[in-house]
Amino acid sequence: MSQNGAHEIAPGHLGNLTDEQEDKLRQLWAFGFQVLEMYETEARIYEEKKARGEAVEPAAAAAASPKPASGGWGFFGKKKTTELTHPKFPNCVKEMQKLMPDDEPDKEELMKLALEALDLYTPETARAIIVEAVKHEHPDTLALRFLRARKWNLMRAVVMLAKSVRWRTEDMKVDRVLMRQGEGHALEQEVNGAAGSKDKTLGKDFLNQMRWAKSFLHGVDRDGRPVNYIRAAKHRASDQSVESLERFTVYSIELARLSLQAPVEMGTTVFDLTGFSLSNMDYVPVKFLIQCLEANYPESLGCILIHNAPWGFSGVYRIIERWLDPVVASKVHFTSGAKEISKYIAPEHLVGDLGGTDPWEYEYVPPVDGENAKMEDTATRDKLLARRKELASLFEDKTREWAAAATTDKAKTSAIKHERDELAKQLAENFWELDPYLRARSLYDRLGVFQGNGKVDWAAAKRTQDELKAK
């Protein structure tokens, strides 16, 4: 933070890019548009053939199968190479391969991901998924996270982004299941699930993480980054299933994302080890958290504080440190006592049990009847989704224009960038309008921390608690 209280924009972040970095950003967008155009063209041709009865639907199992090609050395002195193709969109695959340099080491991995995507998504759903993942942030902010994580290597950033999209949509089903169901669904599972059923256990285990105050968001650090507290002493591996803990972990990360306010793009995590013993140590969720953040939420952690670590924890950390990316490891700081942690979090923003003066104390407020009523209003939801699609299309058009004008007319480029930024703001406003129709309400909505318009008021948590107690 600067001396006047404004948040400084770090190098490589939106608003502080070198010419070379901005060029990489344009290249990333341009690459994505080229792939979509190829896919749209061949998909249209395929549908036309299908309408004429000239196309045959391929077997699902063969949809993305690689074909061996001649050349190199095999069983009898010749090596076999792999020719990647697709039975419905062979020309699209060939054109995508031409986009990548022959010496690109990630070329084959990216092509395999592309083949899988051709079966999973239409061009329209691919666009929708990217817009969904952007949420309230500027679309460039998301793209830049992956570019920075891969040290501005375009193809490696594309591979990482493609894997993350696959994980969000197919593996974890972040937006369309996890966040849409939320805490209300977990409570429904716990209360009405069949005795001994997996659903009942998952619901109970998920909610218990919050009831036990094992992890929660509150306040900001000295750089304006939202703080996630993890109370390690409250964890025992046998208290919940691995699946429920992983779902809660991703759920918490997504809520932390919603608490980010531009230009702040990262959060701070405090591992509170007060009262921690080896009986609380569980490497499985720690490894999941590390892998999850590094692979799917790159450049999201600004600072990690390991607070009040007991004697002997250094041996545990030596194991954990091996799993950390060097950049992430450099953000880890050990603190002990209120004075040391206050170097990172001002006392007025630090929770009381760590020596801060913030009067708020964590207490879980469960879901209430009717809090997700807007999710049943599909007419308004669809109207807002249509507007979001329109804005995304305008942003795409303006981004194409920006990329094309970048090297020819600086004044024109600057004007286009301004128009893009205005569209990004409208997308953010639309996101918050749409949010209650797509995402189940969370603890932070019930406490009034999430204001519903992109604003975050951490002090509202204490006021809401006092009001509830007064009733």
**Using one digit for the tens of pLDDT, what is the confidence trace for 28-39?**
999 999 989 988
pLDDT of residue 24 exceeding 70, the answer is: yes
Average pLDDT of the residues of the chain: 90
The larger pLDDT score, comparing residue 50 to residue 287, is at: 287
Task: Kindly state the average pLDDT of the residues 151-164.
Answer: 93
The larger pLDDT score, comparing residue 121 to residue 198, is at: 198
Global pTM reads 0.91
- In this structure, of 15-24, 112-121, 294-303, the range with the lowest mean pLDDT score is 112-121
What pLDDT does 112 receive? 84
What pLDDT does 407 receive? 65
What pLDDT does 399 receive? 96
Whole-angstrom distance, CA of residue 40 vs CA of residue 97: 16
Q: Which amino acid is at 233?
A: A
pLDDT of residue 183 exceeding 70, the answer is: yes
Q: Are residues 138 and 193 in contact, defined by beta-carbon separation less than 8 angstroms?
A: no
pLDDT of residue 18 exceeding 70, the answer is: yes
User: In sequence order, what DSSP letters do the residues of 5-66 get, joined into one string?
Assistant: SPPPPPTTBTTB--HHHHHHHHHHHHHHHHHHHHHHHHHHHHHHHHHTT---PPPGGGTT--
Banded pLDDT at 406 (limits 50, 70, 90): low
Helix extents (H) in 167-241: 179-192, 198-211
What pLDDT does 323 receive? 97
Q: What is the pLDDT of residues 218-263, one digit of tens each?
A: 999 999 999 999 999 999 999 999 999 999 999 999 999 999 999 9
What pLDDT does 55 receive? 64
Q: How, if at all, do strands 226-231 and 215-220 pair?
A: antiparallel
Q: Domain 212-354 is classified in which CATH homologous superfamily?
A: CRAL-TRIO lipid binding domain (3.40.525.10)
Q: Are residues 306 and 333 in contact, defined by beta-carbon separation less than 8 angstroms?
A: yes
List beta partners, residue 228.
217, 269
The larger pLDDT score, comparing residue 174 to residue 64, is at: 174
